[in-house]
Structure 1
Amino acid sequence: MAPQRFREQFQQIQRSMPDVPLVIGPDESAGFFYEKGVILARDGDEARLVEDTVREHFTAFAGLTGDQVRRESPATNRTGITRIRVADPGQGDGTGDPAVGQALRSLTAVEGRAGRRLVGRNHVVHIAVNACPGDEPVPVPRAEPANPGQAGTPYDPETAVGVLVVDTGLVHDHRGSPLLAHAGGDLQIQECDEDGILQPYVGHGTFIAGVLAAVAPNTDVVVRNTLNDAGAVLESEFGEKLFEAVDRGGWPDLISLSAGTANGRTDGLLGLAAFMEELREQRTLLVAAAGNNAADLPFWPAAYADLPGYQDSVLSVGALRSDGESGACFSNHGPWVKVYAPGERLTSALTGFRSPVPYVYQHSTYDDCRYGFPYACTCAHPRHTGVLSEPGETATGKPDQVMFEGHAQWSGTSFATPAVAGLVAAHMTAHRETDPRAARKQLLAANTAQAVVRGERVPALLPPTWRPVPVTRPGRRS
């Protein structure tokens, strides 16, 4: 049996949120997780309407008890969202949540009369390497240069473009990498476990900051540990955490966000609506990852780039494979993905250079590409045995351990995103453009590079210092 990476990550995320019962969305093809027994509604009259409608439905039609339906304390934050409990979270298992499904269906007619969405699941928002990661980091020799390499524009604190990275925090020795000499913000809460082994995906925010600083050295990069070390947060908390991140330093020129979730809908996340409305009124450009589920289902907030009123304020980014000619096998795709950039086997800073640190792989690689692509993609190469895979799925059953001493190679739309944010910032510096949204339009208008993704020609933004690597068929060396 092949590894089941999405289900493995469900177990991983559930362990990181032990007090929150989670389920996989209606089926695994939906590509999302959510809190069991809870729905979301807007505060005030809408929350009361939702509560009353669900209780009446459960009592009259669903064969369930309506006495468990209750509003929990309304949120006191700017998101304006109320959690409504609709069932005992201890009932059933993690394969679905009939009570939440019934609650959502009970509002269908009411939403139709209201002319807008009133209710939603409480999804888990996660870093885009999580849930269905492109791959896990691979150590590279200290002498191997970053890819993208560092551009020539010097850092100038007077003209530097402000970029906020909303992610996991920086590793403590990040300034050991020249790329991150000027990076600031939050540190990881816990880099290693009690045995001194790096926690899963530690260095995600650091790697992103390194890619961004390489493409655009004249930036003030601030990394916030908004998504905690596990890289996952409930939708009901996500909007407020984004508000907190921008409040700490003011609205920046750019936000680089390599996180999100699908939700099976085309109208966004209820818990993010207030933040997105305020973003629209600012000058900030949100550059957001399209996600790694190899699907065309909208991944939020990246997919806001395709919604009326948000096209100027959001730029969604998919990933290209290592040669830059086609889409990476794992990248989400579709008309809501507005641009693609290299996102396979990039090289950047994972830790500083003070001492080697061990890492144990979480996922086993596949015998072939899990999405059916015919090149030597990150699904299968390099070979790894992961701790989350079931016994018997791999040859040895023992997870692989490696040592990191500075740089790493890593793949995902997580890392294509800061490359694009960096290109927008570099354009602002080169052209003395102070409006990031205008810079985005100018950059895309001047760009002529294209790639092929699922048979369609799409815009490709290729950093000048990025070095393409030819792809090979499985079993052949470059």
Structure 2
Amino acid sequence: MLVHFSGPRDEQRQPRPQPPGNLGAPYLSPVLVNRHGGRVLLPSAAALAPGARPPSATAYRANTLLIPDSLLRKPDAVAALDQALATVGLALEIPAPLLESAPSLRPWLRELADVPRAVVLKVREGAPPTAVDAWVALQAIRAAARPADPGRTVAADADTARIGLDHLLGAATITGDPISEGNPISEGNPISEGNSAGSGAYFSSTARIPVEMLAPAPRRTHIKALPVGRRPVIAVLDTGIRPHEWLGMPDADPDSFLTVDDPLQAAIHHEEVRVRDTGGLDFPVLEGYWDVPDPVEPSVGALPTHIGHGTFIAGIARQHAPDARVRSIRIMHTDGIVHESVLLLAIAVLTAQIRSALASGETEALVDVVSLSLGYFDEYPADLAYTGQLAALVDGMTDLGVAVVAAAGNQATTQPYFPAALATQPGSDPVLPLISVGALNPNGSKAMFSNDGSWVTAWATGASVVSTYPSDLNGSHEPMITAGPPDSRLHRLRETLDPDDFRGGFAVWSGTSFAAPLLAAALAAALLEQAVRHPGDPACDLASTDRLTARERATRALRRIGEHEDA
């Protein structure tokens, strides 16, 4: 394992990098965009409010805006929004309070008053036929809030800045799919080269292939043998999980490696169903924590591009931090797409749960590290006002002493990729900044596909990583050559490698998707190491539920990784 870390030794966050022009968005195929009710915002075709700057390219859900729940409970604010949207023939479907939509969140409702929610747009009654476009709606809202007198402050400006697009985020993984893959610089041009696997190999970016793991599962110390109060916990916000012998079943015993969050999963499902049913677009919705294919996946038997992604990440943690625990939270579809509203809800609920646990002393509910293998390009990457909702939620989590680790993306660009680019956001100097992770090759060089720039604060192996993969997955691709009688048993056949038969239970895969959880696992291992080495030091005590202590132990763990690197 290779890890290079610079974040904790930086005294201050650097100024947010200025992108050199409109570099574009990660490529999303029309199939993916349409499947999730989305649009791609192009700078040359974007509608603009008076005085607005042209945006950079991004992808977003066409019929929803992100609006804080507290704002939706202000009649004056809702009336002002309705008046602004009337100018473009649109209106909002104001949702019921969050408790009614997601009753499983009742214990943390006060903490979630400001959570951004996906609010459905519709064509206004009596308006002429018009396209439902969240970007146009957002420009109308911002135009209405713009003061006629530049010297006069409008009260609605503060509320307007809290309304944004519901972006479509993608997994930071190399899939080798010429239909859905992105940057030809980083992953090979499928049009001219044809063989995505070959081009991927050239650029040290391996799409998932089955491999055999000859080593046994890393030894896991029994909880009673650990001289600490609890195990460190890594929350993995991803595709969910599938069964694997190395990982066990979630909550199968009080000390299981995998745990899940049923109240949060129920809330995600309820919110997605509300948006789907209210908006009329039949996009796939997430239900439960099991990583199962979306119902709209192709019927030809091919494996979805990102099924097994969460299981692979959990296996990375199992290998490098076997005495930790993984809390698996399903926010990603098996095609690799994440709705920003779902990500924000998950972060907000996790933060509320952790804050409640710190206040009550319930150590089992604590989380030490959050791993995010996803991201997007923002339409205004240099302006904190438009990424403020995500930044505020991340800062709220790190303020509790939770380290947030985010993948830097695979577009081979320096353009800021969010949430990873929040690692260098200006305007605040938290004790524990978000950590953005680029990918290294096994020899320690930077992977060709990895994003880079001053906003990337750490590096870890992310190319050709071997980890756990669901052994019950066998897609429709077949070996090029098979020799043997038709009725031969599997062990009597001679054949070339079956590229999507994962009955062996392991795979090799590439992407900053896997660099981020490797660093997250290194943090968890460092937390446990310092707790064992310094049993009398309150700042290393994993059983402590003091917020300042949690921040201190996380900071020390980050420094510990830096010491290992220097050594």
Fold shared, TM-score > 0.5 on shorter chain: yes
Using the TM superposition, give the Cα deviation of residue 104 of structure 1 relative to its aligned residue in structure 2, in angstroms: 6.3
Using the TM superposition, give the Cα deviation of residue 444 of structure 1 relative to its aligned residue in structure 2, in angstroms: 4.8
8 Å contact 2:440–2:461 — kept in the other structure?
Answer: yes
Using the TM superposition, give the Cα deviation of residue 203 of structure 1 relative to its aligned residue in structure 2, in angstroms: 0.6
Using the TM superposition, give the Cα deviation of residue 319 of structure 1 relative to its aligned residue in structure 2, in angstroms: 1.2
Residue number in structure 2 paired with 1:52: 80
Which structure 2 segments of 5+ residues have no match? 1-23, 45-54, 100-111, 175-179, 188-204, 251-255, 261-288, 355-363, 479-497, 532-539, 543-549
- Map residues 322-333 of structure 1 onto 2, 5 A cutoff: 322-326=442-446, 328-333=447-452
Q: Aligned equivalents of 2:248 and 2:91: distance in 1?
A: 55
Structure 2 residue 281 is the aligned partner of structure 1 residue 189: no
- Map residues 77-88 of structure 1 onto 2, 5 A cutoff: 78=112, 79-81=114-116, 83=119, 85=121
Q: Aligned equivalents of 2:431 and 2:408: distance in 1?
A: 15
Q: Aligned equivalents of 2:507 and 2:34: distance in 1?
A: 27
Cα displacement string for residues 405-424 of structure 1 (whole angstroms, at most 9, x for unaligned residues) = 32111111110011101111
8 Å contact 2:247–2:257 — kept in the other structure?
Answer: no
Cα displacement string for residues 293-331 of structure 1 (whole angstroms, at most 9, x for unaligned residues) = 3233333322232232446142111112332122x2222
Q: Tell me the percent identity.
A: 22
Q: Aligned equivalents of 2:460 and 2:237: distance in 1?
A: 19
What SS does the aligned partner of 1:404 have? Answer: coil
Using the TM superposition, give the Cα deviation of residue 50 of structure 1 relative to its aligned residue in structure 2, in angstroms: 8.1
Residue number in structure 2 paired with 1:237: 342
- Map residues 190-269 of structure 1 onto 2, 5 A cutoff: 190=293, 197-244=302-349, 247=353, 250-264=365-379, 265-266=381-382, 267=384, 269=387
8 Å contact 2:399–2:431 — kept in the other structure?
Answer: no
8 Å contact 1:304–1:310 — kept in the other structure?
Answer: no
What SS does the aligned partner of 2:365 have? Answer: coil
Q: Amino acid of the residue matched to residue 33 of structure 1?
A: A
8 Å contact 1:5–1:132 — kept in the other structure?
Answer: no
Cα displacement string for residues 26-50 of structure 1 (whole angstroms, at most 9, x for unaligned residues) = 3599463102254334443889558
Residue number in structure 2 paired with 1:347: 466
- Map residues 311-326 of structure 1 onto 2, 5 A cutoff: 312-326=432-446
Higher relative contact order (CA 8 A, sep 6+): 2
Residues 126 and 87 from structure 1, CA distance in 2 versus in 1: closer, same or farther, beyond 3 angstroms? farther
8 Å contact 2:213–2:506 — kept in the other structure?
Answer: no
Residue number in structure 1 paired with 2:502: 404
8 Å contact 1:279–1:313 — kept in the other structure?
Answer: no
8 Å contact 1:41–1:47 — kept in the other structure?
Answer: no
Using the TM superposition, give the Cα deviation of residue 258 of structure 1 relative to its aligned residue in structure 2, in angstroms: 1.2
Residue number in structure 1 paired with 2:283: none
Q: Aligned equivalents of 1:5 and 1:278: distance in 2?
A: 28
What SS does the aligned partner of 1:262 have? Answer: coil
8 Å contact 2:39–2:59 — kept in the other structure?
Answer: yes
Residues 204 and 68 from structure 1, CA distance in 2 versus in 1: closer, same or farther, beyond 3 angstroms? same
Q: Amino acid of the residue matched to residue 292 of structure 2?
A: I
Q: Aligned equivalents of 1:97 and 1:144: distance in 2?
A: 51
Which structure 1 segments of 5+ residues have no match? 60-64, 362-399, 450-463, 465-478
Residue number in structure 1 paired with 2:414: 296
Q: Amino acid of the residue matched to residue 183 of structure 1?
A: L
Residues 414 and 70 from structure 1, CA distance in 2 versus in 1: closer, same or farther, beyond 3 angstroms? same
8 Å contact 2:315–2:467 — kept in the other structure?
Answer: yes
Cα displacement string for residues 53-72 of structure 1 (whole angstroms, at most 9, x for unaligned residues) = 7845x77xxxxx44424463
Moved more, 238-247 or 38-47: 38-47
Matched positions, count: 390
Q: Aligned equivalents of 1:161 and 1:90: distance in 2?
A: 55
8 Å contact 2:89–2:130 — kept in the other structure?
Answer: no
8 Å contact 1:51–1:70 — kept in the other structure?
Answer: no
Q: Amino acid of the residue matched to residue 408 of structure 1?
A: A
Structure 2 residue 249 is the aligned partner of structure 1 residue 129: no
Residue number in structure 2 paired with 1:99: 136
Q: Amino acid of the residue matched to residue 239 of structure 1?
A: L
Q: Amino acid of the residue matched to residue 443 of structure 1?
A: R
Q: Amino acid of the residue matched to residue 523 of structure 2?
A: V
8 Å contact 2:394–2:404 — kept in the other structure?
Answer: no
Residues 70 and 357 from structure 1, CA distance in 2 versus in 1: closer, same or farther, beyond 3 angstroms? closer
Residues 279 and 330 from structure 1, CA distance in 2 versus in 1: closer, same or farther, beyond 3 angstroms? same
Structure 2 residue 31 is the aligned partner of structure 1 residue 11: yes
Structure 2 residue 245 is the aligned partner of structure 1 residue 175: yes
Cα displacement string for residues 81-140 of structure 1 (whole angstroms, at most 9, x for unaligned residues) = 3637386898569xx876246336526745994686343222123332287567674324
Residues 8 and 125 from structure 1, CA distance in 2 versus in 1: closer, same or farther, beyond 3 angstroms? closer
The structure with the greater share of residues assigned to helix is: 2
What SS does the aligned partner of 1:52 have? Answer: helix
Residue number in structure 1 paired with 2:475: 358
Using the TM superposition, give the Cα deviation of residue 23 of structure 1 relative to its aligned residue in structure 2, in angstroms: 0.6
Q: Aligned equivalents of 2:71 and 2:561: distance in 1?
A: 42
What SS does the aligned partner of 1:402 have? Answer: coil
Residues 86 and 121 from structure 1, CA distance in 2 versus in 1: closer, same or farther, beyond 3 angstroms? farther
